[in-house]
Amino acid sequence: MISAGIDVGAKNIKIVLVRDNRIIAKDKVLSGFEAKENTNSLFEKILTDNGLKKEDISSITSTGSGRKAVDFATVSVTDVTAASKGVTTKFPSAKTVIDVGAEEGRGIRCDDKGKVVDFSINEKCAAGSGAFVEAMSRALEIPIEEFGPMSLQSDKEIPMNAQCAVFAESEVVSLLHAKTDKKDIAKAICDAIAARISSMVRKVGFEKDIAVIGGVAYNVGFLRSIRSNLESEVLVPEFPEFVTAYGAALITE
């Protein structure tokens, strides 16, 4: 029995195929402006690439902010439910999930069984989301992949005044004008996002173990800052951005 989880996010569409709780295939594509068409073609692609037919998939679960774009799903769940399912299956000890996606940051607390107890979402503001890191990497003129590693080279603590991504862009430009080292600015930005996410997680009351998922979990600088802010180790899965799709695939009718 193979089940599929489709996570239609603000930036990327992620599909995971699961058999016996194990990921057998995964793929992603940019959501773009035609999320529906892009979901359909990605689903066809993952089937073709793995020599499967639609009949081979017993259950299709959609999730994510754009989950309505998946009109062929058999089940639909919120991203909070899917994220906690995915995390607690992978890490049974996890009680808190930090999920930082392209346009949303989430803090989720779950019980021993992986059931959601409380959560908090920031979806109104780019501060504390992947969009913030992207805007900052543009302002610093460094590729997003190099952002985290570069910030690790710094131990300086430069406070960022701006919370708003638009204002933070101007602040970064001012710091560059003042000849501040790029690695120190990158560190300051990681600290800023981590502070924002941490305060959200504290609101729902966090309990160890803590897992971090979502695309921003690839940023090693952010991970260091969040560890230091929460004064705790964090668990990071191998493919953090696919965990929500994985969790969705585990939720069948």
Partner 1 sequence: MAKEFWRWKEYNWKDDSINWQNGSIITAGVDVGSVSSQAVVLVDGELFAFSNMRTGSNSPMSAQNAMNWALENTGMTLQNIHYTVGTGYGRVNVPFANKTITEIACHARGANKMYGSSIRTLLDMGGQDCKAISCDEKGKVTNFLMNDKCAAGTGRGMEVFADLLSLPIEEIGDLSFQIEVEPEPVSSTCVIFAKSEATGLLRAGWPKNKVLAAYSSAMAHRVVSLLERIEIKEDFAITGGIAKNSGVVKRLEKELGIKALKTTYDTQIAGAFGAALFAKALVEKERK
Residues 65-94 that bind partner 1 (CB under 8 A): none
CA 6 – CA 170 distance, rounded (Å) = 37
**Binder to partner 1 among 156, 173, 202, 228 (CB under 8 A)?**
173
Q: Which of 20, 22, 33, 113 binds partner 1 (CB under 8 A)?
A: 33
Closest approach of partner 1 to the CB of residue 235, in Å:
29
Contact region with partner 1 (CB under 8 A), list: 108-116, 125-133, 194-202, 203-211: 125-133
**Length of the chain, please?**
253
71 Cα distance to chain centroid = 24
Toward partner 1, which CB reaches closer, 55 or 178? 178
Q: Please, which of residues 201-240 interact with partner 1 by CB under 8 A?
A: none
Span 131-170, contacts to partner 1 by CB under 8 A: 131-132, 135, 163-167, 170
**Beta carbon nearer to partner 1, 57 or 195:** 195
Q: Is 30 an interacting residue with respect to partner 1 (CB under 8 A)? A: no
- Report in angstroms how near the CB of residue 125 gets to partner 1 at its nearest: 5
Instruction: Return the range that interacts with partner 1 (CB under 8 A); candidates 63-71, 120-128, 141-149, 180-188.
Output: 120-128
**Shortest distance (Å) from residue 164 CB to partner 1:** 5
Number of residues binding to partner 1, judged by CB under 8 A:
19
Q: Give residues in contact with partner 1 (CB under 8 A).
A: 10, 33, 103, 124-126, 131-132, 135, 163-167, 170, 173-174, 177-178
